[in-house]
């Protein structure tokens, strides 16, 4: 357990419970997220990772508990104000009609339509370049592969948060399994991209299924599930210990140190 | 004049031909330069089979520039330009025929189209269809007015009134001598057969012909059901030839289960008449009713 | 690679088509009006000169009909686009929310039961009875379907689709029941109403419909960008700041008013709301900022073209408009089913 730091720009939730009919998707979750770092949300299937992320994004209201951003409840901010500084890349997205990849990325600029900046077109192009989908721009999104679609949606989220806010409000980039459909090379380039954005002050929160990616790229982890059904938050190296991993995921793991000094795990 | 008429009536026993000839001879008695006047005689569009018949009887068919789809008698009427179904007329279509007058019943429409035609300067005569002899009279008068053949119309009126009077007398005379047959009219041009109650053309015609409508207590048409038929207990089923054709013949018609419980079924008492003749309320009505009356008497005998 | 024309080209092209269709419609008709005569009518407009028959036919019969055709096609094309955007499905159609079936049921009740249920109504409302009843019927059924599809989280489109299917079926059954009770004449009247027609258009009704459709089209403009975002899914659209519930409500109201006004005046004109947006998307892509106005223009052109055929093919009689839009629409619909079967 790490001490809760009172960060005024934090994204927090306290005692959040999410129930759907008789099923409890998330119970008594409290996290305190600071901007400027990459936080990974980890856990086995069904632990409530996506639910937690959607609550933090303001997409879903908890049945109990509260979510605050910058010290104010999320609901007080309003969805339109939130959209200017918070983006959520979904796990899956079924897009209707034959929009091109470029048009989909451009939709990320929707919240800014009332106050466009001088380089709107450039933003879309540069965002697509960052996630390596520039060559796919004129193609119809629904005809792309899973990985290509994911990269296009990531570019959309980046485009949504492109410029720092004039009032200095922190930007939050939330991603639900951003690497799940990507090939190896793109997995790592995407995570490096997220680290770069965190380095510029954006709060990056990503649900990951790959523990090794989390170990390598995340500053902090939030682990859900396990025997106690609870939640553990803390610095990556401290929390991701073999004992906890075995307890939560039920798989024996052996840490190994790679050439550049990062610890990775072998499973099985 | 009377001698001439008798000559004709001997050689041509059919009444309708007689009436036509009467009309023609009246015309002959009128002004001579008939064809020169044709160009100045008003042009007509008639919407309703009965009204079209009157036009032909007045010899005004040269003035007829268009008819509706129910105008099927005489045969020449079928090849006149058709303005469509009487409830779905087209303003431009009507006006393109450049008529001076349009004669229709109050069942024609849409009302807006008739208004548009009126505002273009065409006279639109609407005849109230109240299923009485007055309706026939009004049709004759209206056509006479519109076709500028009022004298001929009056003569035709007199003739028809006389015929009608004769028929009514015969029916009244026979009424005292026995009970009136219970008659039920079935309409079946489409899938489900309907039977007619009060305030319908069939109801009036049955009454005129000396019968009694087996169905009462409701107005208009209703679907035919076995129970209703059984309780109505008609002696005679009256229907149109078109209904029988739609059923595929008389035998198929009698196979309908609803009819099986009626007295009419036992004696196979069925009278059919062409729909326009029977229900059109046109100039052939006296002869139609006379024919019906005779068949009623035969059926009860 | 997709071959797409620019927004300007598509909008310009649709406008051109509309203008051509309007001009062809203006010079065609059962009543022969030559071009010099037409020119004379237009040149002497406003002057109190003696009205020639061509004047009257063109100004009182043909022109209101052309304007009604434009309004009807624009309203249906625009509403079709809104419904397809809302349901996120290219096979959606304004009929899904029950406007057409509600209007049809109300028309059926008026034609068949009217004299018996409300004898006073035709006297007070006169020839407006059927129009007002049909409009009211369409709005009522839409309201019902909308109400049935509301749940805690807002309006669910899947619920709306199912509710629409059920209520449409009920309205159809109601019409069936009415047809059993109807006389031959009433049945014919209803049948013609159901097949749709621009005939009998008078200026008072035409101007009302035109105003209703114009206001609806103006209101629909602000829905274009939200509908683009909704293509990502309602959840994502909400995260982008779209007020999804308000967008749905507005789209349904706009559709109900436009299609309700049109259907009440013309009867049911099918397939325009389905095919106009699809054709536009094929050449311009799915951006609603282009598809909405272009579908309105193309829909208007299609209705005018179909009506011109309807009133000249069998002159002096008329074919019902719905028959012709079905002849174009059904093959188109079947082709779309084949093309989109992977996405259904």
CATH number at residue B75: 3.40.50.1980
Q: List the single residue in A with minimal CA-CA distance to C90.
A: A97
Kindly determine whether residue B66 and residue C188, on different chains, have CB atoms separated by under 8 Å.
Answer: no
End-to-end CA distance of chain B, in Å? 41
Judgement on whether residues B221 and B103 belong to the same structural domain of the protein: no
The boundaries of every CATH 3.40.50.300 domain in chain A are 1-85+177-241
- Predicted confidence band of residue C340 (pLDDT cuts 50, 70, 90): low
How far is C103 from C136, CA to CA, in rounded Å?
A: 7
**What are the tens digits of pLDDT across the range B60-119?**
989 999 999 989 989 999 999 999 888 888 888 899 999 999 999 988 888 888 888 888
Q: Give me the mean pLDDT over the B15-34 stretch.
A: 46
Q: Is A62 on the interface with C (CB under 8 A)?
A: no
Kindly determine whether residue C199 and residue B110, on different chains, have CB atoms separated by under 8 Å.
Answer: yes
Pick from A57, A59, A103: CB nearest C287: A103
Residue B168 lies in a domain: no
Residue B166 lies in a domain: no
Q: Give me the mean pLDDT over the C177-181 stretch.
A: 82
Residue C21 lies in a domain: no
Kindly determine whether residue C317 and residue B113, on different chains, have CB atoms separated by under 8 Å.
Answer: no
Say what the pLDDT of residue B228 is: 84
Residue C141 lies in a domain: yes
Q: How many residues does chain C have?
A: 344
Q: Given the DSSP bridges, would you call strands B236-240 and B270-273 parallel, antiparallel or unpaired?
A: parallel
Residue C252 lies in a domain: yes
Q: How far is CA B59 from CA A52, A192, B25, B53, in A?
A: 92, 100, 10, 10
Q: Is the predicted pLDDT of residue B32 greater than 60, yes or no? A: no
Judgement on whether residues B129 and B228 belong to the same structural domain of the protein: no
Q: How many residues does chain A have?
A: 268
Chains C and B touch (3+ CB pairs under 8 A): yes
| CA max distance for chain C | 65
Residue C198 lies in a domain: yes
A5: enclosing H helix or E strand: none
Residue C309 lies in a domain: no
Domain boundary among B160, B189, B208: B160
Judged by DSSP in three states, B58 sits in coil
Say what the pLDDT of residue A192 is: 97
Residue C194 lies in a domain: yes
Label residue C8 exposed, middle or buried (CB < 10 Å: 0-12, 13-18, 19+). Answer: exposed
pLDDT tens, per residue, chain A with 268 residues: 444 456 788 999 999 999 888 888 888 899 999 999 999 999 998 889 999 999 999 999 999 999 999 999 999 999 999 999 999 999 988 999 999 999 999 999 999 999 899 999 999 999 999 999 999 999 999 999 999 999 999 999 999 999 999 998 999 999 999 999 999 999 999 999 999 999 999 999 999 999 999 999 999 999 998 656 689 999 999 999 999 999 999 899 999 999 999 999 999 8
**What's the pTM value of the predicted model, to 2 decimals?**
0.83
B120: enclosing H helix or E strand: none
Q: Tokens for B220, please give them.
A: 């208009």
Name A233's bridge partners: A222
The better pLDDT of the pair C82, C338 is held by: C82
Are B51 and B103 contacting, i.e. CB atoms less than 8 angstroms apart?
yes
Q: How many residues does chain B have?
A: 301
**What are the tens digits of pLDDT across the range B255-275?**
888 888 888 888 888 999 998
CB atoms within 10 A of CB C285: 22
With beta carbons under 8 A apart, name residues in chain B contacting C29: 92, 96
Judgement on whether residues B124 and B218 belong to the same structural domain of the protein: no
Q: What is the CATH number of the domain that holds C102?
A: 1.10.3470.10
DSSP string, C75-111: HHHHHHHHHHHHHT-TT--GGGGTHHHHHHHHHHIII
Name which of C239, B64, B30 is nearest A60 in CA terms: C239
Buried b (16+ CB within 10 A) or exposed e, B176-210: eeeebbbbbbbbbeeeebbbbbeebbbbbbbbbbb
Judgement on whether residues B153 and B196 belong to the same structural domain of the protein: no
Q: List the single residue in C with minimal CA-CA distance to A107.
A: C229
Residue B165 lies in a domain: no
Buried b (16+ CB within 10 A) or exposed e, C24-62: ebbebbbbebeeebbebbeeeeeeeeebeebbbbbebbb
Say what the pLDDT of residue B112 is: 83
Supply the DSSP symbol for C197: -
Kindly determine whether residue A90 and residue C285, on different chains, have CB atoms separated by under 8 Å.
Answer: no
Pick from B83, B116, B121: CB nearest C316: B83
Interface with B, mutate which of C55, C61, C112, C130 (most B CBs under 10 A): C61
How far is B80 from B99, CA to CA, in rounded Å?
A: 14
Helices then strands (H, E): number in chain B?
Answer: 15, 10
Say what the pLDDT of residue B13 is: 45
Q: Give me the mean pLDDT over the C136-140 stretch.
A: 91
- Predicted confidence band of residue B191 (pLDDT cuts 50, 70, 90): low
DSSP string, A33-54: E-TTSEEEEE-STTSSHHHHHH
Judgement on whether residues B148 and B197 belong to the same structural domain of the protein: no
The boundaries of the domain holding residue B13 are 2-160
Say what the pLDDT of residue A2 is: 46
Q: Is the predicted pLDDT of residue C42 greater than 90, yes or no? A: no
The backbone region for A145, taken as left when phi is positive above 0, alpha when psi lies in -120 to 50, beta otherwise, is beta
Q: Which residues contact A86 (CB under 8 A, 6 or more apart)?
A: A57, A58, A69, A161, A171, A172, A174, C239
Q: Is the predicted pLDDT of residue B247 greater than 90, yes or no? A: no
Edge-to-edge strands, sheet with A203-207: A86-89, A172-176, A203-207, A38-42, A220-224, A231-235
What would be the CATH architecture of the domain defined by A1-85+177-241? 3-Layer(aba) Sandwich (3.40)
Interface with B, mutate which of C179, C195, C266, C316 (most B CBs under 10 A): C316
Say what the pLDDT of residue B8 is: 47
Say what the pLDDT of residue C122 is: 64
Q: Is the predicted pLDDT of residue B26 greater than 50, yes or no? A: no
Say what the pLDDT of residue C35 is: 80
Q: Is B74 on the interface with C (CB under 8 A)?
A: no
Name A42's bridge partners: A223
- Predicted confidence band of residue B12 (pLDDT cuts 50, 70, 90): very low
Average pLDDT value for chain B: 84
Pick from C200, C311, C315: CB nearest B112: C200
Residue B173 lies in a domain: no
How far is C183 from C112, CA to CA, in rounded Å?
A: 8
Residue B242 lies in a domain: yes
Helix, strand, coil proportions of chain C in percent (round to 5)? Answer: 80, 0, 20
Q: Tell me the shortest Cα–Cα distance from A256 to chain C, in angstroms.
A: 40
Q: Give me the mean pLDDT over the B127-143 stretch.
A: 92
Kindly determine whether residue C183 and residue B221, on different chains, have CB atoms separated by under 8 Å.
Answer: yes
Buried b (16+ CB within 10 A) or exposed e, A5-41: eebebbbbbbebebeeeeeebbbebebbbbbbbbbbb
Judgement on whether residues B35 and B156 belong to the same structural domain of the protein: yes
- The number of CA neighbours under 13 Å toward the Cβ of A71 is 6
The boundaries of the domain holding residue C86 are 32-270
DSSP string, B216-233: -S-BSEEE--HHHHHHH-
């Amino acid at each position: 357990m790490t001490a809760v730091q009172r960060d005024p720009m934090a994204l927090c939730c306290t005692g959040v419970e999410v129930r759907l009919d008789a099923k409890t998707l998330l119970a008594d979750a409290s996290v305190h997220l600071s901007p400027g770092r990459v936080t990974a949300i980890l856990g086995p299937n069904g632990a409530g990772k996506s639910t937690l992320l959607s609550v933090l994004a303001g997409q879903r209201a908890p049945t109990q508990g509260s979510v605050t951003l910058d010290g104010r409840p999320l609901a007080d901010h309003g969805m339109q104000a939130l959209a200017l500084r918070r983006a959520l890349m979904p796990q899956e997205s079924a897009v209707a009609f034959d929009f091109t990849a470029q048009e989909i990325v451009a939709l990320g600029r929707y919240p800014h339509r009332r106050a466009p900046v001088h380089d709107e077109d450039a933003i879309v192009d540069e965002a697509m370049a960052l996630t390596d989908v520039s060559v796919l721009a004129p193609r119809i999104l629904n005809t792309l592969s899973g990985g290509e679609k994911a990269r296009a949606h990531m570019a959309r989220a980046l485009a949504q948060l492109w410029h720092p806010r004039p009032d200095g409000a922190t930007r939050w980039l939330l991603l639900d399994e951003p690497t799940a459909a990507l090939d190896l090379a793109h997995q790592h380039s995407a995570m490096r991209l997220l680290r770069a954005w965190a380095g510029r002050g954006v709060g990056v929160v990503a649900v990951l299924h790959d523990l090794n990616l989390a170990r390598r790229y995340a500053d902090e982890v939030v682990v859900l599930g396990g025997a106690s059904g609870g939640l553990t938050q803390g610095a990556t190296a401290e929390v991701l210990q073999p004992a906890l991993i075995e307890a939560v995921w039920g798989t024996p793991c052996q840490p190994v140190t790679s050439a550049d000094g990062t610890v990775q795990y072998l499973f099985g | 004049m009377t001698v001439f008429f008798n000559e004709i009536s001997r050689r041509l026993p059919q009444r309708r031909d007689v009436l036509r000839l009467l009309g023609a001879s009246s015309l002959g008695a009128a002004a001579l330069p008939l064809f020169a006047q044709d160009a100045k005689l008003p042009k007509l569009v008639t919407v309703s089979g009965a009204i079209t018949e009157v036009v032909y009887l007045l010899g005004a068919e040269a003035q007829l520039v268009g008819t509706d789809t129910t105008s099927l008698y005489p045969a020449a009427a079928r090849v006149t330009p058709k303005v469509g179904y009487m409830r779905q007329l087209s303003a431009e279509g009507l006006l393109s025929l450049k008529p001076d007058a349009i004669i229709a019943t109050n069942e024609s429409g849409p009302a807006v189209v008739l208004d548009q035609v009126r505002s273009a300067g065409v006279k639109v005569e609407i005849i109230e269809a109240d299923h009485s002899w007055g309706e026939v009279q009004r049709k004759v008068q209206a056509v006479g007015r519109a076709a500028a053949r009022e004298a001929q119309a009056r003569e035709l009126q007199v003739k028809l009134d006389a015929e009608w009077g004769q028929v009514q007398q015969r029916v009244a005379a026979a009424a005292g001598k026995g009970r009136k047959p219970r008659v039920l009219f079935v309409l079946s041009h489409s899938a489900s057969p309907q039977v007619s109650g009060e305030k319908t053309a069939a109801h009036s015609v049955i009454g005129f012909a000396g019968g009694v409508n087996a169905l009462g207590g409701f107005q208009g048409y209703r679907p035919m059901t076995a129970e209703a038929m059984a309780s109505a207990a008609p002696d005679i089923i009256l229907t149109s030839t078109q209904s029988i054709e739609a059923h595929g013949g008389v035998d198929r018609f009698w196979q309908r289960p609803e009819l099986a419980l009626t007295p009419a079924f036992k004696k196979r008492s069925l009278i059919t008449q062409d729909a326009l003749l029977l229900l059109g309320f046109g100039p052939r009505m006296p002869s139609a009713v006379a024919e019906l009356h005779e068949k009623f008497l035969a059926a009860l005998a | 690679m997709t071959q797409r024309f620019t927004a300007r080209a598509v909008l310009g092209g649709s406008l051109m088509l509309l203008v051509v269709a309007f001009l062809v419609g203006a010079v065609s008709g059962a009543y022969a009006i030559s071009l010099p005569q037409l020119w004379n009518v237009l040149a002497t407009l406003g002057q109190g000169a003696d009205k020639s028959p061509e004047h009257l036919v063109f100004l009182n019969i043909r022109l209101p009909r052309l304007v009604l055709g434009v309004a009807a096609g624009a309203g249906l094309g625009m509403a079709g686009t809104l419904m397809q955007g809302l349901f996120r499905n290219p096979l959606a159609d304004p009929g899904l929310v029950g406007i057409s079936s509600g209007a049809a049921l109300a028309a059926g009740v008026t034609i068949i039961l009217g004299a018996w249920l409300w004898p006073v109504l035709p006297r007070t409302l006169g020839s407006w009875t059927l129009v007002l009843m049909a409009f009211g019927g369409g709005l009522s059924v839409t309201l019902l379907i909308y109400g049935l599809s509301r749940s805690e989280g807002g309006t669910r489109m899947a619920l709306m689709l199912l509710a629409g299917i059920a209520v449409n079926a009920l309205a159809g059954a109601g019409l069936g029941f009415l047809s059993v009770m109807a006389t031959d004449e009433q049945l014919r009247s209803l049948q013609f109403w159901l097949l749709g027609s621009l005939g009998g258009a008078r200026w008072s009704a035409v101007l009302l419909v035109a105003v209703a459709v114009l206001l609806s089209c103006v209101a629909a403009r602000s829905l274009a960008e939200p509908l683009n975002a909704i293509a990502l899914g309602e959840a994502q659209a909400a995260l982008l700041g779209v007020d999804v519930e308000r967008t749905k409500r507005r789209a349904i109201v706009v559709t109900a008013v436009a299609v309700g006004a049109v259907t009440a005046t013309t009867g049911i004109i099918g397939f325009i709301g389905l095919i106009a947006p699809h054709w536009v998307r094929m050449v311009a892509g799915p951006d609603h900022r282009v598809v909405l106005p272009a579908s309105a223009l193309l829909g208007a052109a299609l209705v005018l073209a179909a009506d011109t055929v309807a009133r000249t093919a069998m002159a002096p009689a008329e074919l019902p408009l719905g028959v012709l839009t079905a002849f174009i629409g059904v093959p188109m619909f079947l082709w779309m089913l084949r093309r989109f079967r992977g996405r259904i």
